[in-house]
Amino acid sequence: MVRWLGILLRTFRSAVRTRRELALENLALRQQLAVWKARQPRPRLTEMDRIFWIVLARLWKNWRSSLQVVKNHAPDLIALDFFTVPTATFRVLFVLVVLTHSRRQLVHFNVTEHPTAEWTARQLLEACALEEGPRYLIRDRDQVYGERFSHQARMLDMQEAVIAPRSPWQNAYAERVIGSIRRECLDHVVVIGERHLREILSKYVDYYNGTRTHLSLSKDAPRPRTAQLPSQGRVVKVPRVGGLHHEYRRRAAEAHRTNKWKAQGSTFHWTTQYCCVTRRKAVLQTNILTSLQSWSSR
């Protein structure tokens, strides 16, 4: 009912607008699409593009409304991409990251040496099972996204938005976070193996989501932070990601956060143990059923 009410309101709004406003809005949207589809590694606004927006702002007072298309759909978008990490033993590990567009939050990551369509589909399920259900998924044309992955996306009621060939800028959010991970973390460490890389990325993801600021979020973190008053004590420096980065907090706030992490760590420990026992039982049941089937077929 609410959806149809919104459609009727937008229809009424477009009906009362003048043809001049509609023509200017269509012109602005076409110009943005032309820039977005430019066959360049990093498309930028040229002098003619700047002159276009200056003239449009003079002719149309509501020109900013044509820039809200991406912002309005941001809560419904997630992006994912792979990148490789070489190790000290000359192995190549593949890392998958899943990012939300609304708050630039890293909702999931995992590491493997041999990515497959089944493994990637399982990561998508783990990333989106507890979310509000994004409607669109942005990815590239890598062969690792097979039919199994597309089937999993359809089961989660998500529509895949596949970018153009050799156009990584069309998945700019995922490319940007991968660059941040390289520059701020992996370029400063030597990765030993898969377990070591997973531990490093776990610390960085926690720092990225809870501490690292973003200009697009008004210098807030992906997980919103609360203001700390001077009455909470003096400012202390807290190392993050093994000392690569630091966080500055009030002493009382840091003590509260430390106690909270200890409680969460205890809960995570017991939850992990329960999940491991449950998984062992499931594997045992599968082996028993397989043995019975092979025995009955003889």
CATH of the domain at 191: 3.30.420.10
pLDDT band with cut points at 50, 70 and 90 for residue 15 = low
In the chain, count H helices and then E strands.
Answer: 9, 7
Q: Is the same domain home to 54 and 172? A: no
Read off the pLDDT of each residue in 66-75 and give the average, rounded to a whole number.
63
Range of the domain at 118: 74-216
Q: Is the same domain home to 93 and 61? A: no
Q: Is the same domain home to 203 and 86? A: yes
- Least-confidence region, from 12-16, 101-105, 280-284: 280-284
Q: Is the same domain home to 107 and 171? A: yes
Specify if 107 maps to a domain: yes
Q: Is the same domain home to 33 and 143? A: no
Strand partners, 246: 239
Specify if 4 maps to a domain: no
Specify if 11 maps to a domain: no
Q: Report the C-alpha gap between 71 and 175 in whole angstroms.
A: 18
Q: Is the same domain home to 35 and 62? A: yes
pLDDT band with cut points at 50, 70 and 90 for residue 70 = low
Q: Is the same domain home to 182 and 111? A: yes
- What 3-state class would DSSP assign to 48? helix
Pull the structure tokens for residue 40.
């360049």
Specify if 283 maps to a domain: no
How many separate domains does the chain show?
3
Over the stretch 30-50, which tens digit does the pLDDT of each residue have?
Answer: 777 777 666 555 566 778 888
Q: Is the same domain home to 249 and 171? A: no
CB under 8 Å to 80, separation ≥6 — which residues? Answer: 96, 97, 98, 99, 124, 127, 137, 138, 139, 174
Q: Is the same domain home to 60 and 85? A: no
Residue matched to tokens 């390289």: 182
pLDDT band with cut points at 50, 70 and 90 for residue 215 = confident
Q: Is the same domain home to 121 and 237? A: no
CB under 8 Å to 62, separation ≥6 — which residues? Answer: 21
Q: Is the same domain home to 193 and 247? A: no
Q: In 3D, which of 79, 62, 61 has the Cα closest to residue 70?
A: 79
Residue matched to tokens 């062992």: 280
pTM of the model: 0.66
Q: Is the same domain home to 46 and 120? A: no
Strands 235-240 and 245-250: antiparallel
